[in-house]
Amino acid sequence: MNPHGTYSFEFFPPIGEVQTAALYEAADQLAALQPDFFSVTYGAGGGTRRHTLETVLELQRRTGVSGVPHISCIGSSRRRIRAVLDDFQAQGIRHVVALRGDLPSGLAAPGEFRFATELVEFIRRHSGDYFHIEVAAYPEVHPQSVRFSDELQHFRLKVEAGANSAITQFFFNPDAYFRFTDACRQCGVDIPIVPGIMPITNCERLVRFAGVCGAEIPRWLLYRLRDYGDDRKAIQDFGLEVVADLCERLLQGGAPGLHIYTLNRARVSVQLCQALTARGLPFG
Ligand SMILES: Cc1cc2nc3c(=O)[nH]c(=O)nc-3n(C[C@H](O)[C@H](O)[C@H](O)COP(=O)(O)OP(=O)(O)OC[C@H]3O[C@@H](n4cnc5c(N)ncnc54)[C@H](O)[C@@H]3O)c2cc1C
């Protein structure tokens, strides 16, 4: 880990030639920023699952940046997860993001794992300390949780099961992050909790994502974004300023790095990193 913390970018496995070319072009540009790793999501629907490892390996081969596959357990079996872990190990992957995931619509059976804690326990039982395990954290509370105290307790259990570090769901309210990390420390959880950062490029898409994952878009931000209508350039310029301010507050408040959700595009992430560097803040 570099002395300023951990800096990483997240991609999803591309489908088809156009997406594939766009992803690798983005990765080439983002690799120049020397991040600690590139992570690749693990599709809950099954369609992209087999592409996660392929994408990780190709990213590593092309860019030299360490690749980190996500793995989700919902709807899966121990046998299947064991096989995925063995594949990772055979390819020399030592760092994973371990998640419960969400059941694809139409699939009712949760499989042999109910929560990410059980996946973390399973990975430790199967592979000992071989993997560095990241887990997800929700400063604004996971949409299925009823109380903050439940969220905290369930996060603590994931850490006790063997998680080494965490990446948060995206958020725009830095106080939610600081309150969450303070509460973690108070209950003895002291792993690094890296903020997940969502660049703002498109108001409707942001509202859709936020609705699905329970992230709050502050009213003032939503109304300002709506004012820009179809003016994408104005939305992106304003979004860049807002997200750079957020990152600045997080890093100055002691956040141990940043994890940027790239949506497989480089431009906005590069601009954000340049904006942080111009403010004297580290990236990579
Ligand atoms: C950084 C990051 C990366 C992600 N990458 C992916 C990806 O690649 N693929 C994908 O499909 N999804 C991904 N997701 C989304 C994630 O899978 C969903 O948010 C999912 O709903 C929860 O996954 P989890 O690992 O946080 O689950 P968990 O930690 O299991 O939590 C899920 C819910 O169950 C509750 N809970 C946990 N333990 C218990 C318990 N013992 N008893 C009762 N309730 C409990 C929690 O409080 C929470 O409400 C990602 C999310 C983040 C933040």
Tell me which residues have their CB closer than 6 angstroms to ligand 1.
41-42, 44, 70, 72, 97, 99-102, 115-117, 136, 142, 144-145, 150-151, 154, 158, 167, 169, 196, 213
Q: How far is Cα of residue 151 from the mean position of the Cα atoms in its chain?
A: 18
Length reported for the chain: 284
The overall average pLDDT reported for the chain is: 94
Q: Which of 142, 159, 160, 180 to mutate to test the pocket of ligand 1 (most atoms within 8 A of CB)?
A: 142
The fold of the 6-277 domain, in CATH, is TIM Barrel (3.20.20)
Query: Taking each helix axis from N to C terminus, what angle separates 148-160 and 116-127, rounded to the nearest 10 degrees?
Result: 10
Domain boundaries along the sequence of the chain: 6-277
Whether the per-residue pLDDT at 259 is higher than 80: the answer is: yes
Nearest ligand 1 atom to alpha carbon 143 = 49
Name which residue sits closest to atom 43 of ligand 1, judged by CA: 154
pLDDT 10s digits, 36-53: 999 999 985 455 667 999
Name which residue sits closest to atom 26 of ligand 1, judged by CA: 136
pLDDT number for residue 283:
75
Instruction: Calculate mean pLDDT across residues 253-266.
Output: 97
Whether the per-residue pLDDT at 111 is higher than 80: the answer is: yes
CA of 101 to the centre of ligand 1 (A): 6
Q: What own/partner pairs with CB < 8 Å and gap ≥ 24 does 58-64 have?
A: 58/24, 59/11, 59/24, 59/27, 62/24, 62/27, 62/28, 62/31, 63/27, 63/28, 63/31, 63/38, 64/31
Comparing CA positions, the residue from 75, 55, 74, 78 lying closest to residue 65 is 55
pLDDT number for residue 182:
98
Run of H or E residues at 106: none
Whether the per-residue pLDDT at 83 is higher than 80: the answer is: yes
Instruction: Calculate mean pLDDT across residues 229-242.
Output: 96
Nearest ligand 1 atom to alpha carbon 166 = 1
Instruction: Calculate mean pLDDT across residues 24-45.
Output: 92
Contact at 8 Å (CB) between 123 and 133? yes
pLDDT number for residue 213:
93
Note if 10 is an active site residue: yes
